[in-house]
Structure 1
Amino acid sequence: MYLEIFKAENTGNDLSIMLSGVCDTFSSVIWDVEYFSPGKFEIYVSANAETIALFQRGNIVGRSDDKQHYGIIEGVYLRTDAESDDYLTISGRFLMCLLNRRIIQPTLSFTAYHTYGEIVQTAVQRNCIRSWAKAERVIPALEIGDVSGACWDTRTKLQISYENLMEWIYTVCQNIGGTANIRLREVSDGKYTMYFELSQGTDRSIMQQENMPVVFSDVYDNLLTYIYNSDYSEYRNYAYVYGEGEGAQRQFATCYAGKEMPTGLSRYEMYVNASDLSQTVRSDDGSETVVSEAEYMEILKERGAENLVAPVLSSEATIVAESHQFVYGKDYKVGDFITMQHTGYGIQIPRVRLVGMIESFDSDGYGLTPVVQE
């Protein structure tokens, strides 16, 4: 494995992305891929004229063996020492963090049912993509890519405004079980463009029969360490959502997690202020439309669903990196459902989502640390 460094230069109103060089003599690399956040990376390398020129803030870093994840350099730390080697620490997040630089403006309103895929793509188009967004808000070299996964076909109504674009997209991802990513794709000889893509993980747990199950267990000698965490302190599963209006005239709706309404000690209530949601929707041409009360209730419920708080049920483990049973990136990837068990303590989680994977490359070899979430 070696690192690929791409230089991103503004050329007028566009962005030129070209391979600038490679680096295969690093001391360590941490590659933290996450499903519901942009993920991050850190590189530790000897400092010299060549590496300092390569690892500049704003350049893009990829891996020769990973064509799905590309990071933008946000931090460069240089330390010189007369008695030992000089070194660079380079850090950043993967390219989805570019959407963290935009908010949703103006209001995005879907009063008729649309798929989540259509809604999220429209939000990115209107706030980032040329011919849709204002010229000064365009993220150069960003295009709309593919949508895959049944979760993105789910249909809903919603209204959203002034939220951070990246954070809102990941909120949608958590609600429906999908993920978003921006990666590089070569479009001509030596030139690259960024593509925004939506996808969904695959069920590889023992609870299904379509795919080969992926099981990490002390029995199979592929589970080295295991930590289980269960925390309901912030859990909220029932929302009172209040929209526009004053006092007793204020519009409100309720929503809850799951198929059955929670009651008694199983009910964790919360208040959601949705006063920014209006029944009067202004379109891009300045005309106004008043949505029906039933449609407005659906929009309020969608806002409430976005704010429900799931319990923290997570596991961290260290697994055998060079496993002959399951190869990361080939047999399973971040976003997939897998099975984890520790027979010594009678613990089995038959279906758990892999929401993160930290890959580490250093003098000790190659390591994999998965993060899972029920």
Structure 2
Amino acid sequence: MSTIRVIDRAFNFLGDVEVYSSLIWRRSWHGIGSFELHCATGEAGVEHLVEGNLIYIVGNSAEAAEIDYVQMHDSNGGSIVVRGTALDGWLSRRITYPPNNQAYDTFTLPAESAMKRLVQTNAISSRPIDSLVITSDQRRGDNVAKQTRYKGLAEEVESISRVSGIGWRIRADTSNKNYAFECAPGRDLTEEQDVLSKAIFSIERNNLKNRILTRSKLSYRNVALVAGAGEGVERKIVTVGNVNGTERRELFVDARDLQQEEGMTNAQYEELLRTRGLEKLEEAARVESFEAALSGSNLVYRQDYDLGDIVTVFDREWGVRFNQRITEITEIYETGDVQLEATFGITAPTLIERIKQEVRR
């Protein structure tokens, strides 16, 4: 069974937990990962499992997580449940502030640059998170027009990630003793490309089992009417999407919080509204996800495929064949064995996510 290492935020070693009943480690490409650990209270190293300390699986120190929750039971000789979030969750402790003497923070940048600007402005240059740094900006992704004011930093970064496809994380750098915010586009490992080795998942290749296929248009919208500043006939309106007939599914987006600041052209303001429309359409996208346990040895995890890669999924029995990004991977450590579960594509939002979307809308 993999060893769990416990450190403090200053990277000081506290102890190892080698005996536990289960560890569930969830990785997310667009959002914030999490973990849940179960073990007996009498095992070595358990005394270091306290709120605020960090843990990681030995051999993969880059993906650390912070302990947020500890619950102890006196049944069955004493047990402990520990939960927490990936270091990415630190961004949820900040909101976006506008620059001094400005009502809003407004910019148009490539997606990677936009995410890094938000983090630099709100978690490093001002109200800094201890030892947080940003990796070099490669300006990847399409341009994103953004205007933000007192919004959740993590939510703003995640919205850009979902629209652009570019993933993000905070990586623990044990060598330099800092925490690096970084972005990545993921690899194209689909059957059609010939640059990299292909990653194809199917029952026929014996690398999938316990499949769940979900296709849903229950909350699907493909045209957004985005209403910005102004009143009545003077209100700025932008339409995003170009679908007609029965398949046209309209969504109204109240974007009066986006303001046309002094010196901003009509085209620049319309691009802000368009970006907001794209974000809301992404939240209301058609659900097409394939969840499965990964099995077999013909593809090696973290080598032949990883979180964020775009792969080919094929299921002859269900008539499924599509190229989708791996958006979530869950590692399950139990009884000396490691099981992997993956989500390919867009999943239906949870109840909490749906409530947040309605509040933002």
| TM-score, with length taken from structure 2 | 0.89
Aligned match of 1:325: 298
- 1:181-237 superposed Cα distances (whole Å, 9 cap, x missing partner): 00110245xxx2111111121111112111111122221222222111001111111
Could you tell me which of 313, 317, 329 is aligned with 1:344? 317
Letter in 2 for 1:314: S
Confirm or deny: 8 A CA contact 2:324 2:344 kept in the other structure.
Answer: yes
Distance of 1:255 and 1:218 partners within structure 2: 39
**Distance change >3 Å, CA 299–CA 40, structure 1 → 2:** same
Q: 1:22 to 1:51 in 2, by over 3 A?
A: closer
Within the candidate set 81, 91, 99, 1:99 is matched to 91
1:128 aligns with 2:123: yes
Q: Unaligned stretches of 5+ in structure 1?
A: 9-15, 281-288
- The 8 Å contact of residues 116 and 154 in structure 1, kept in 2 or not, is answered as yes
Match of 1:276 in 2: 257
User: Cα RMSD (Å) of the superposition?
Assistant: 1.8
Superposed CA deviations along residues 35-70 of structure 1, whole A, max 9, x for unmatched, are 121111111111138544310101111111324421
Instruction: Please say if 1:28 is aligned against 2:22.
Output: yes
Q: Which amino acid aligns with 2:133?
A: E
Task: Say whether 1:41 aligns with 2:35.
Answer: yes
The AA in structure 1 aligned to 2:105 is: L
| Partner in structure 2 of residue 85 of structure 1 | 77
The 1:267–1:79 alpha-carbon spacing in structure 2 relative to 1, beyond 3 Å, is same
> What is the alpha-carbon distance in structure 2 between the residues aligned to residue 44 and residue 25 of structure 1?
10
Counterpart CA distance in 2 for 1:187 and 1:240 is 49
CA offsets 1:108-165 (integer angstroms, 9 cap, x no match): 111xx42222221111111110xx21xxx221111112456x8x34223321222211
Report the AA paired with residue 64 of structure 2: Y
Instruction: Tell me, yes or no, if structure 1 residue 310 matches structure 2 residue 295.
Output: no
> Counterpart of 1:365?
337
User: How do 1:60-209 residues align onto structure 2 when only pairs under 5 Å count?
Assistant: 60-81=54-75, 84-106=76-98, 107-110=104-107, 113-129=108-124, 132-133=125-126, 137-147=127-137, 152-188=140-176, 192-209=177-194
What is the CA-CA distance between 1:292 and the residue it aligns to?
Answer: 1.3
Which of the pair is proportionally richer in strand? 1
SS in 1 for 2:116: helix
Instruction: Tell me, yes or no, if the aligned pair for 1:206 and 1:350 is still in contact at 8 Å.
Output: no
- Secondary structure of residue in 2 paired with 1:42: strand
Alignment-derived partner of residue 12 in structure 1 = none
Higher Rg of the two aligned structures: 1
Q: 1:373 to 1:80 in 2, by over 3 A?
A: same
Pairwise CA distance, 1:356 = 0.9
Paired with 2:187 and 2:5, the residues of 1 have a C-alpha distance of 29
- Tell me if structure 2 keeps the 8 A contact 1:77–1:90: yes
286, 293, 317: which one pairs with 2:266? 293
**Map of 1:267 onto structure 2:** 248
CA contact (8 A) 2:141 2:164 kept: no
Q: 2-side partners of 1:333 and 1:116: how far apart?
A: 21
**Which whole-Å CA distance do the structure 1 matches of 2:279 and 2:204 have between them?**
39
> Which has the higher mean CA deviation after the structures are superposed, 157-166 or 55-64?
157-166
CA distance, structure 1, for counterparts of residue 253 and residue 207 of structure 2: 44
SS of residue in 2 equivalent to 1:344: coil
SS at match of 1:180: strand
Answer whether contact 2:18 2:44 (CA < 8 A) is retained.
no
C-alpha contact 2:144 2:160 (8 A) present in aligned 1: no
SS at 1:299's partner residue? helix
Contact 1:28–1:43 (CA under 8 A) maintained in structure 2: yes
Q: More deviation in 230-239 or 137-146?
A: 137-146
Offset of 1:80 from its aligned partner? 1.1
SS of 2:63's equivalent?
Answer: strand
- Cα distance in 1 between the residues matched to 2:118 and 2:52: 24
**8 A contact 1:57–1:76 mirrored in 2:** yes
Q: Tell me how far 1:290 sits from its aligned partner.
A: 2.4
Quick one: percent identity of the two aligned structures? Answer: 26
The Cα shift of 1:263 comes to 0.7
Distance 2:144 2:338 in 1: 43
For residues 165 and 295 of structure 1, what CA distance do their matches in structure 2 show?
23
Q: Report deviation, 1:72.
A: 0.7
**8 Å contact from structure 1 (residues 3, 22) kept in 2:** yes
Q: Contact 1:20/1:54 (CA < 8 Å) preserved in 2?
A: yes
Paired with 2:268 and 2:152, the residues of 1 have a C-alpha distance of 24
1:224 aligns with 2:209: yes
> Aligned letter for 1:358?
T
